Structure 1
Amino acid sequence: MKKNFLLFLTFTSLSTLQAQTVEEKIAAKSCECLEKSSKITEDVYRDCLTKPMAELILTDKDPKVRESINTVDGIKTMILKIQGVVSKKCPNLVPSLTENKDDVFYGESKNKKAQNFYVIAKDFMQKNNYKLAIESFLLALNEDSNFVLALDDIAVSYRQLNDYDNAIKYYKKSLEVYPEGNFALMNIGVVYTFKSDYKTAISYYEKLIQYHPNNAEGYFGAGKNYFLMKDDEKALDNIFMAHIIYTNENSDYQKDSEQMLGAIYQKMKSENKEDLFKKIAEKNNVKIE
């Protein structure tokens, strides 16, 4: 199995390289579209990516290229790859709105008392004194109820105490203030997984994918929970996507996605579903021989 799986990863890299020609053509059109725009908003950016994608892929002579966007997952995968090329080809035209939001919502509180209580709470957290940390976070939130960092960290503290219900409560409060918050979306998914509520965990991971399509954690979390629900096909779709991102980022977490793919492969092989594994791999533009 180990030998075969290493061969599989090699083919993953090769297939990614082969797909670059189509992506580069779309990225070039996208950059042209963005250059013509007087103001680049997230909506304009999205339109400049998707319109040339539909035009070039649907008119491509290769049927496999046309079939690549026949599914929602296929569209997500293609958009993600194009975004990567566009960010290198015309980086000055890529909107930084999401990053600006992070700067605002993940920044210090403007309320000095709230910020002071937060600093004290973080010190308690570093000493693993989560009960006192919670008390200080509550004082901070009494001064500034929309303090996202305090909401996220009090949730972390409750999670460390295995108080999952309160952890969820404060992650939800954080998401009420900042719905796109990647920290809360990712970690509330983790907590629901601990509670064996896999469907709800997936719903939050899919929101993470929606707001942050370049974040591998959304795909990995969704894939892991689909696997726990014994939905191997959706698990593979998501873990393949996570592995592509981890590999492109040269992340240490690609070892985790390799292990997950290996576990799914072993399970499907034991159920005589090896052909289905290969079919799903092919659907994700991964060729296995």
Structure 2
Amino acid sequence: MKKNFLLFLTFVSVSVINAQTIEEKIAEKACECLQKSSKITEDVFRDCLTKPMSELILTDKDPKVRESINTVEGIKTMILKIQGVVSKKCPDLVPELMANKEDVFYSESKNKNAQNSYVIAKDFMQKSDYKTAIESFQLALKEDPNFVLALDDMAVSYRQLKDYDNAIKYYKKSLEIYPEGNFALMNIGVVYTLKSDFKTAISYYEKLIQYHPDNAEGYFGVGKNCIMLNEDEKALDNIFIAHIIYTNEKSEYVKDSEQLLGALYQKMKSENKEDVFKKIAAKNNVKIE
């Protein structure tokens, strides 16, 4: 059994490397379109994404590629994936408001007292003195209530103390200021998982996917929580996507996605659902032999 399990993982790893070829092609066309625009607004950006998407997908020889945009959800998912690739291929052509949000919100406080208290709090965090760190973060936030980094790290400190309710409280405060914040979205999902509130965890991971479609952690988080809810097919879909991204990025986390894929394969095989597993694999351009 161990030999077959390793063989399965090898096929997955080898097969997924070219799985995003269509996204790469569309992203190249989108970048060419953006280069021709004198002023890149968010509307122009979206147009340059969607026009080559329709052209290339509808003329692709692989029917599975064409089928991927047969639903509204499929179209939305494809646009989000392409947006993530474009942001890497031609970051200078991404609209300024979209490109700079992370730099703006994940920056030092302009209030010197708030920033000084934050630095002191981080020192306490490094020493694992989370209670004292929280006191310093509170001083920072008293001076600058919209200090996202302090809100996020306050939440981390509460999480380390296993005070999950307060951790959630501060992640939510962070997300009120910066709804796209990948750190808060990812970690509030983790906290809800620790509280065994798997459905709420999934909702935050899905928001992470919406705002950051190239971040594997969103798909992986959805997959893990779906397993806990026995929603194996949805779990499999998301873990395949996470595995593809991890593989393409040569991430060390590819081992984690391999483990989950292997566990799901064995579970579904024992339930006589091996064909369902292979069907979902094929949908994600992964060949199982």
How many pairs align? 287
Number of the residue aligned with 1:138? 138
Does the 8 A contact of 2:80 with 2:210 survive in 1? no
Unaligned runs of 5+ in 1: none
Number of the residue aligned with 1:180? 180
Q: Offset of 1:30 from its aligned partner?
A: 1.9
Please, what TM-score do these two structures have when normalized by structure 2? 0.90
- Letter paired with 2:205: Y
Does the 8 A contact of 1:26 with 1:82 survive in 2? no
Number of the residue aligned with 1:128? 128
What SS does the aligned partner of 2:171 have?
helix
CA-to-partner distance for each residue in 1:251-285, whole Å, 9 max, x for gaps?
00111111111111121112111111101111111
Distance 1:96 1:220, change over 3 A: farther
Distance 1:6 1:75, change over 3 A: farther
Q: Within 2, Cα distance between the matches of 1:55 and 1:237? A: 26
Please, what TM-score do these two structures have when normalized by structure 1? 0.90
Number of the residue aligned with 2:18? 17
Number of the residue aligned with 2:275? 275
Distance 1:145 1:187, change over 3 A: same
Distance 1:162 1:224, change over 3 A: same
- Which protein has greater RCO, CA pairs closer than 8 Å, 6+ apart? 2
Number of the residue aligned with 1:32? 32
Distance 1:41 1:75, change over 3 A: same
Identity among equivalent pairs (%): 77
Number of the residue aligned with 1:70? 70
Q: Within 2, Cα distance between the matches of 1:192 and 1:96? A: 33
Unaligned runs of 5+ in 2: none
Q: Offset of 1:207 from its aligned partner?
A: 0.6
Number of the residue aligned with 1:209? 209
CA-atom RMSD in angstroms? 2.4
Distance 1:221 1:96, change over 3 A: farther
Q: Within 1, Cα distance between the matches of 2:86 and 2:101? A: 23
Does the 8 A contact of 1:28 with 1:86 survive in 2? no
Does the 8 A contact of 1:134 with 1:154 survive in 2? yes
Q: Within 1, Cα distance between the matches of 2:168 and 2:87? A: 37
Q: Within 1, Cα distance between the matches of 2:112 and 2:203? A: 36
Number of the residue aligned with 1:235? 235
